Amino acid sequence: MVSKSQIKDVKALHLKKYRDESRFFIAEGTKIVTEVLSTYPEIIHELFATKSFIEQNSKILNSKLKLNIVTEQELERISAQSNPNQVLAVCHFFSLAKPSFDFKNNFSFYLDDIRDPGNLGTILRIADWFGINEIYASESSTEIYNQKVIQSAMGAFLRVRVHYILLDEVLNNIQCPVYGAVLNGKNIYKETLQNGLIIIGNEANGINKNNLSKITHPLTIPAATTNHTESLNAAMAASIISAEFFRQLKS
Amino acid sequence: MVSKSQIKDVKALHLKKYRDESRFFIAEGTKIVTEVLSTYPEIIHELFATKSFIEQNSKILNSKLKLNIVTEQELERISAQSNPNQVLAVCHFFSLAKPSFDFKNNFSFYLDDIRDPGNLGTILRIADWFGINEIYASESSTEIYNQKVIQSAMGAFLRVRVHYILLDEVLNNIQCPVYGAVLNGKNIYKETLQNGLIIIGNEANGINKNNLSKITHPLTIPAATTNHTESLNAAMAASIISAEFFRQLKS
């Protein structure tokens, strides 16, 4: 049973404004929430779950957890999903340590104004796959606590930290190549890649004009013909670029 | 000005059933429709456009075109987009030639039950980028005329043909390696890749059990650690795999 005020409080978290004020966000669905419960239960502030979820997951449900049993109808009222799936967790924001700026063992991304939450979610998954646990993003990029980011990142949002920071501040702290995904750079397959920072630009406008000059190594994913899609989307470009860095540096 | 019956006819095309019956589909927005007008105008059956779209695109608007001038409000009534953008084209289905089954010059995909329209759209873009103009898909895969496919494929749907066909029928017509993206295959970076058919499986369940045995070369994209995202999504996997085939075979 959930009260009207609980419904109001949870629904408020669909909006960035209230997430920022309260420092809570929402993660939903059996797959994601069971991963949070198994690997990072301390971030859960409160759980809204159906009886059947609770029965099936009794082993990972800590007795200290603030647990509300809800019907599917009640879950629908607080959910931001079109098909809510058994459970919704209200979670604390991550306590974010300072960036390590560690490029000794891996490459990383600077997201320059990535706006599409699905793209950010996908980039978190790809970072997670390739063992990148810290990425950077401009303040104008989508916030990681946006529900579409959380839902599309799956469990990756638990393992990859995003630091919202000016590019200049990152550059002041690192001494490695600054790569950029651009349309007229060098063929990525002909370059000898090193651990470095890879700038991925905005979906419509690419990398910010002021940041272009900071790229030391412009990179391009070659296309087969000239009569093609005018550009790859940000998440596809990040996927292909990460895979090539990984292939050269680690495989 | 659009009539009630026009509104009804266009809105019917939001549903697969009526697309199949009429053999028409919808493409929307200035970016996509200007690309159709410039490169493939013969598929347009009817255009619904605002005055400003018509003024800005007079050069590519053929006088024979069935053109309806609409207000933004009227466009909203027929559009499937949350933010309709100036123009909607009702297009004829492509007249699909028989598959060429040509693997001499390129690799291609068999999509085994890809259900997410965004994934299919992304895969069309990636195919377009890497010069693949013919891909194959199980009948259970999303139809290409789904509006989310068209909108996410951008212009790629104009250049990449999708043949809905049984895997066995493709296999009967080709003599090349059959690759499959699986979790326990060989490291893609250690394999010498050849032009071949690459099977990409369903988002939740992977490649159909009956089709797994037909793979001659199972492939895996290696991950950095074991403590990661359990799988890459279908579109990301297709992006990374295509890029590696392209790198080895063509770059």
How would DSSP label each residue in B8-49?
HHHHHTTSHHHHHHHTEEEEESHHHHHHHHHH-GGGEEEEEE
Q: pLDDT of B98-129, one tens digit each?
A: 999 999 989 999 999 999 999 999 999 999 99
Higher pLDDT, A226 or B76: B76
Other residues' Cβ atoms within 10 Å of the Cβ of residue A179: 27
The answer, yes or no, to whether residue A225 has pLDDT greater than 90, is: no
> What per-residue confidence (pLDDT) applies to B95?
84
Strands B217-220 and B134-137: unpaired
- Three-state DSSP at A237 gives helix
CA-based Rg of chain B, rounded to a whole angstrom?
Answer: 20
Tokens of B240: 């990374």
Report the residue of chain B nearest A240, measured CA to CA.
Answer: B240
B-interface mutation test, from A108, A126, A239, most B Cβ less than 10 A away: A239
| CB-facing half-sphere around the CA of B156: CA atoms within 13 A | 31
Which of B26, B24, B34 is CA-nearest to residue B155?
Answer: B34
CATH architecture of B108-250: 3-Layer(aba) Sandwich (3.40)
DSSP label at A104?
S
> What per-residue confidence (pLDDT) applies to A95?
84
> What per-residue confidence (pLDDT) applies to A63?
81
Q: Which helix (H) or strand (E) holds A217?
A: strand A217-220
**Chain B: nearest CA to A45, how far in angstroms?**
24
Out of A58-62, A84-88, A186-190, least confident range = A58-62
Q: Are A163 and A190 in contact (CB under 8 A)?
A: no
β-sheet with A44-49: strand ranges across = A24-28, A87-92, A44-49, A67-69
pTM: 0.91
Q: Which helix (H) or strand (E) holds A209?
A: helix A209-212
Q: pLDDT of B135-185, one tens digit each?
A: 999 999 999 999 999 999 989 999 999 999 999 999 999 999 999 999 899
Other residues' Cβ atoms within 10 Å of the Cβ of residue A49: 23
Which of A164, A75, A76, A160 is CA-nearest to residue A113?
Answer: A164
Q: pLDDT of B188-245, one tens digit each?
A: 999 999 999 999 999 889 999 999 999 999 999 999 876 676 778 899 999 999 999 9
Confidence band, pLDDT 50/70/90 cuts, at residue A28:
very high
**Chain B: nearest CA to A131, how far in angstroms?**
5
Average pLDDT score over residue span A194-205: 94
Is B227 at the interface with chain A, CB within 8 A? Answer: yes
**Residue with the two structure tokens 């195919």:** B127
**Chain A: nearest CA to B230, how far in angstroms?**
8
Of A230, A236, A250, the CB nearest to B122: A236
Q: Where are the beta strands (DSSP E) in A20-152?
A: 24-28, 44-49, 67-69, 87-92, 108-111, 134-137
The angle that helices B234-250 and B117-129 make with each other, rounded to 10 degrees, is 10
- Three-state DSSP at B128 gives helix
Tokens of B183: 């979790």
What residue type is assigned to position A25 of the chain?
Answer: F
Average pLDDT score over residue span A110-135: 95
Is A166 at the interface with chain B, CB within 8 A? Answer: no
Of B187, B189, B251, the CB nearest to A189: B251
Domain ranges of chain B: 4-92, 108-250
Q: What proportion of chain A, given as a percentage, has pLDDT over 70?
A: 98
Q: pLDDT of B31-90, one tens digit each?
A: 999 999 999 999 999 999 999 999 999 999 988 899 999 999 999 999 999 889 999 999
The angle that helices A234-250 and B234-250 make with each other, rounded to 10 degrees, is 60
Which of B22, B23, B75 is CA-nearest to residue B47?
Answer: B75
Q: Whole-angstrom Cα distance, residue A21 to residue A14?
A: 12
Higher pLDDT, A112 or B96: A112
> What per-residue confidence (pLDDT) applies to A227?
67
Q: Which helix (H) or strand (E) holds B186?
A: strand B178-187
CATH 3.40.50.300 fits B4-92, yes or no: no
Distances (CA, A) of B131 to A33, A121, A125, B112, B113: 40, 28, 27, 21, 23
Q: pLDDT of A69-95, one tens digit each?
A: 999 999 999 999 988 999 999 999 998
Q: Whole-angstrom Cα distance, residue A200 to residue A206?
A: 7
The answer, yes or no, to whether residue B1 has pLDDT greater than 80, is: no
CB contact under 8 A, A232 and B118: no
The answer, yes or no, to whether residue A192 has pLDDT greater than 80, is: yes
Measured between beta carbons, the chain A residues lying within 8 angstroms of B151 are none
